[in-house]
Chain A
């Protein structure tokens, strides 16, 4: 339910999906059975007005949704407005309906909370599942053998590297030719040549390399996820059918009264038991057909009751209720399927991910990994060109300019020696056999973090005895890096303890420090803003907390 505690739970997409059930709720459920909606355009005006009011109210207030209670309040507020508009519109157009204005508003609130809650949950769960899928795919790519293949070299990068080698060599010779007699003019000319070389060769090369896009992993499609969700699936009885029976009971009693309503509910429950028994028997005998049987079951269970609504007059002397039959036929299957879909994604997510694992084409992964490695190498080379080589050359040109300005023969002679030796070193160190030899590689070492901050803070890191898989290790490293930097930069901490341990729900990381010791107790949650906080929320699926008290700060993050 935490997924609903954000403004995007009421996104425009969610609101657009509510338009159809919202319209149907007005056009089917409110008019009396003997009224034709098609002959009364006023019902359509009512539907449009009420739906527009609901949408506008949600758009204006959704920014306040930062908790589940705020979500419910916003939907109830918008549902109340929707119901009030329906009542006012019916009075204005002099339309007749079942029930009183109060039941109309209450019904609107129920419809809004039910549909918006259901749609929003399905959308948010799907998005969350899609993110996990993407992470899984990236893990597969990152751990595939192609990422370790040092022979994979992007053609663009290789060409740039060869050009760089030539450029450095030419620059070295050119500078040597200019710096002959140690005069100020020569120094200025050499400085100008180096600067010109940076502008015309090295900087454009780094721009070009940095602009190369890293290929993205293919995205999860709704079709795939639906197939994987329904394939090995039976609706969980308590979570799906009982809400469906409640929906039927409420709807039947409201429309026909207690006696008939109870009879209809009983009929639905009996049909349900028969259908479930038939479904279980069928799926045992005919393997692999649950994809068809399960949704069919949801629809079939509603059919006898829908029929009873239509021919009810034969038994109960009630008029035929086509609208009631339509509601039963639509709402109960959707309720069951929707809740089961969410349940499936929530409770059996890992199983679904395992299924996805087996569906991944390793050939595609290897190719993707190879392309990504190439693009990353290009990017790293671009950064190297910019951060290291250009800075070095710029520094040389400044030295030459300064020496020329001093006009001191001793300084100029010394500078000439420095510049020529530096250029020779640069040429030698940057033209080794592999383009990537200049780039820092290798898996990060957790103790590097302790050493890097030595003198500023004392950091102790306790890792679990069990080995951590490469994806988790990389994420854990980033968490510790970010958590430690935050504690020092924003909390003035100088003693930090990091403990990572395995629990039943995954890897738990606790970063405690002695920072902000005298501030009053306050707690930060996944709703806190800030780039670091948002990143923690993303990687931990909103399961992190940060608490401050007199002794310091404790950051807790769970990695599933």
Chain B
């Protein structure tokens, strides 16, 4: 019997995962906040925690994972995220605890993948080093600074405003935007605007559909 803690602030998504796991023979508890999760583990010991990355205000799934490891050092951790590259969430990302398995929600074609993942992290909860960033997809080639500039563009900031906020010159930001465009295979052309294409690409990457 495997005890699984599911933490998702979306009641529907959390309940669906929890129902599916219960149907597969796991013992499952679902909560919506980090606070409730920590209160629960003081009375009940889960083997594996399935955590949504974005838990709304306050701690993220990664913060909660660290807190759970303090209570139960051998707990297996699975992180679910809507982003292939978590940096696009626009939040400071702390180091992910060692052994954590990360699943992009859109890549979960079947719950079987999640079930296998749970069994895997239960066997070897601490296997593998902690990783600093979860970067996958087309933006994985970008540096942290480039992702920050891309997000600033997406929020509607002008080149001058980005330059001011980063305390660099306007031309440095222009060059950076140009390099981001090259990295994402956005070609300069007389009929197209790189900035607009970058913002469009960013929006698509934030809501990317699963690969065919």
Q: A-side interface residues toward B, CB under 8 Å?
A: 6-8, 11-12, 127, 131, 199, 203, 206-207, 210-211, 213-214, 216, 386-388, 390-392, 394-396, 398-399, 401-402, 405, 411, 414, 418, 422, 425-426, 448-449, 451-456, 481, 485-486, 488-490, 531-532, 534-535, 537-538
Contact = CB atoms under 8 A, between A and B. Distances in A.
Contact of B59 (A395, A456, A537): A456
A535 B166 CA distance: 9
B171 A12 contact: yes
A450 to B, nearest CB: 9
Interface string B165-187: 11111110000000000000000
A219 B33 CA distance: 42
Contacts of B200: 211
Nearest to B90: A531
Contacts of B13: 391-392, 395
Given A214-B156, A392-B10, A396-B16, 8 more contacts: A7-B167, A211-B203, A387-B10, A391-B10, A426-B12, A456-B63, A485-B58, A489-B94
Contacts of A537: 167
Interface in B41-75: 54, 56-59, 63-64, 67
Interface residues of B, number: 50
B111 A485 contact: no
B16 A489 contact: no
Of residues B37, B59, B108, B111, which shows the largest number of chain A Cβ atoms within 10 Å of its Cβ?
B59
Given A8-B164, A456-B38, A489-B94, A207 B204 contact: yes
B164 A394 contact: no
A211 B167 CA distance: 28
B140 interface: no
A77 to B, nearest CB: 19
Nearest to B67: A456
B112 A402 contact: yes
**Secondary structure class of chain B's binding surface, majority of residues:** helix
Nearest to A65: B167
Contacts of B33: 452
Contact of B203 (A210, A401, A452): A210
Given A395-B12, A456-B34, A456-B63, A199 B209 contact: yes
Given A452-B58, A456-B67, A206 B92 contact: no
A414 B164 CA distance: 57
7 contacts: A8-B164, A12-B170, A391-B82, A398-B109, A452-B35, A455-B39, A534-B165
B176 to A, nearest CB: 14
